[in-house]
Amino acid sequence: LDYTEYTNNHVFVQNGRKHDAAKQLIGNALRDRVENIDHEFCEPGEEDTFFVADLGEVYRQHLRWKLNLPRVRPFYAVKCNPDPKLLELLSALGTGFDCASKAEIEQVLGLGVDPSRIIYAQPCKTNSYVRYVASQGVRQMTFDNADELRKIARLYPEAELFLRILTDDSSSLCRLSLKFGASLDSTDKLLALARELGLNVVGVSFHVGSGASDPGAFLKAVQDAHVVFQQAASHGFCLRTLDVGGGFCSDRSFEKMAGVLRSALDEYFPAHSGINIIAEPGRYYASSAFTLACNIIARRTIEDVSAASYMVYVNDGLYGNFSSIMFDHQHPVAKVLRAGGRTLYNTPAAEATDAVHGIEYSIWGPTCDGIDRISESIRFPVLLDVGDWLYFEDMGAYTMCSATTFNGFTKDHDVIYVCSEPGAKALLGLH
Ligand code: PLP
């Protein structure tokens, strides 16, 4: 992989802006799709929500990862977005995969990925899935309690086990430690039990919570993991891998987070220790690569003495790809893609939300539920009506994977792939 190529793009990442050529590609794909849809005549479904995915963005994120965390091998967390092309590119880039279920493992194995590139990172596993992974030769898996150890001893004693420890995830968007992770008070006993059961503990894992914002959480978790490595040695285990989990965001906080993690690793698990370091990033790789376009299907005018405002209803919502609002605590920002027959993507009019003079809108999903609201209040300098289009950037993480078909709306939306990086195109055999 060409790091100099990355360094050029890095300027854009640092500025919080997307690569200009990438923006243009995404814009063309959005425009080509929507400009010929006439809501007065189209067939049901033609005006459906759709994604544009820039695989080049995934490639840039990978280079950015390698630059900032060169010692840490990413195992992409498939749960975040199991899009087949995204997985294909990551497989070609040589990442591993963090899977949470049989279906995810099947999907990754179906790409021809070697079982050694998979970690079944679910501390509380289904019996039949454990038997399945045993039959497929997927050996790496996590545990955090004694019952699970006994289950593994019965079903798959040859498994390579990672003891998942508790972290302070209080600064994260989605807390995981309420549900998973062994406290440092319990790790010694668990290691003793693993020894007694003749199991093969090979590493320690943790997760600082999805969408973490406190780099200190990584430092503390690495320190705790170091303690557990020493405990394991006292039980006769020679641990060889540390798994630092996910939690990384794709915005500018990544460099800071990675910097703290890098120094913590260098201090507690220096390169000469020979310990392998892996991670399970999900959001970091998927979020910024996907842009979602939604059609305005209905509008309600709210007359007021001073000015009219509008409730607009789009054909995707909290029960669909905006499930991220509910489950992932996101606040997707609408931009105007097409209004009054004009495509505005990436123009000042699309980018502008005119807080003072603009027209006020609230944006609602298509279901009958009052909770299905995407935006309470946003102002645009343009008048929107039925048939117009909105777009939302950074919609790749925890969106389509947790969508439902509530009210009979489809959750299988088209994804139009573009690729703004020649390196990624070459890997995928695209021209
Ligand atoms: N690993 C595990 C075990 C997880 O539960 C999750 C998310 O829930 C991830 C990795 C991915 O986290 P993120 O998307 O924050 O990187």
280 lines ligand 1 (CB under 6 A): yes
Check whether residue 203 and residue 293 sit in a common domain: no
What is residue 231's predicted lDDT score, i.e. its pLDDT?
98
Check whether residue 256 and residue 389 sit in a common domain: no
Check whether residue 414 and residue 296 sit in a common domain: yes
- Of 284, 316, 351, which residue sits at a domain end? 284
The residue type found at 140 is Q
Nearest atom in ligand 1 to the alpha carbon of residue 174 is 8
139 lines ligand 1 (CB under 6 A): no
- Of 284, 312, 345, which residue sits at a domain end? 284
| 361 strand-pairing partners | 310, 378
Check whether residue 296 and residue 248 sit in a common domain: no
Evaluate whether residue 18 is within a structural domain.
no
Check whether residue 48 and residue 86 sit in a common domain: no
129 lines ligand 1 (CB under 6 A): no
207 lines ligand 1 (CB under 6 A): yes
Evaluate whether residue 327 is within a structural domain.
yes
Check whether residue 204 and residue 234 sit in a common domain: yes
**Which positions are annotated as active-site residues?**
368
Strand ranges for 193-322 from DSSP E: 200-205, 241-243, 276-279, 290-302, 309-314
Evaluate whether residue 21 is within a structural domain.
no
Per the structure, how many domains does the chain have? 2
We report the CATH number of the domain holding residue 163 as 3.20.20.10
Domain carrying residue 364: 26-53+287-421
- What is the predicted ipTM? 0.99
End-to-end alpha-carbon separation of the chain, Å? Answer: 18
- The phi-psi region of residue 171 (left if phi > 0; otherwise alpha if psi is between -120 and 50; otherwise beta) is alpha
Evaluate whether residue 193 is within a structural domain.
yes
Check whether residue 109 and residue 202 sit in a common domain: yes
- Of 284, 304, 327, which residue sits at a domain end? 284
Q: How far is the CA of 16 from the centre of ligand 1 (A)?
A: 23
Q: How far is the CA of 218 from the centre of ligand 1 (A)?
A: 14
Check whether residue 211 and residue 316 sit in a common domain: no
Check whether residue 191 and residue 270 sit in a common domain: yes
176 lines ligand 1 (CB under 6 A): yes
Q: Please give the backbone phi and psi of residue 315, each rounded to the nearest 5 degrees, phi first.
A: -90, 30
Evaluate whether residue 112 is within a structural domain.
yes
DSSP letters for 42-55: PPTTTT--EEEEEH
Evaluate whether residue 1 is within a structural domain.
no
Is the Cβ–Cβ distance between 327 and 321 less than 8 Å? no
Residue stretches of the chain with pLDDT short of 70: 1-18, 352-355
What is residue 18's predicted lDDT score, i.e. its pLDDT?
58
Name the residue of 162, 176, 248, 278 to mutate for ligand 1: max ligand atoms within 8 A of Cβ: 176
- Express each pLDDT in 363-385 by its tens digit: 999 999 999 999 999 999 999 99
We report the CATH number of the domain holding residue 313 as 2.40.37.10
Is the Cβ–Cβ distance between 39 and 431 less than 8 Å? no
Name the residue of 205, 207, 244, 278 to mutate for ligand 1: max ligand atoms within 8 A of Cβ: 207
Nearest CA to ligand 1 atom 6: 246
- Express each pLDDT in 65-115 by its tens digit: 999 999 999 999 999 999 999 999 999 999 999 999 999 999 999 999 999
Q: How far is the CA of 25 from the centre of ligand 1 (A)?
A: 30
Check whether residue 103 and residue 250 sit in a common domain: yes
CA angle, residues 206, 235, 275, in degrees to nearest 5: 45
Evaluate whether residue 4 is within a structural domain.
no
Evaluate whether residue 179 is within a structural domain.
yes
Name the residue of 72, 171, 280 to mutate for ligand 1: max ligand atoms within 8 A of Cβ: 280
What is residue 173's predicted lDDT score, i.e. its pLDDT?
84
Check whether residue 296 and residue 211 sit in a common domain: no
What is residue 307's predicted lDDT score, i.e. its pLDDT?
85
Check whether residue 128 and residue 270 sit in a common domain: yes
Nearest CA to ligand 1 atom 9: 246
Q: How far is the CA of 210 from the centre of ligand 1 (A)?
A: 6
Nearest atom in ligand 1 to the alpha carbon of residue 172 is 15
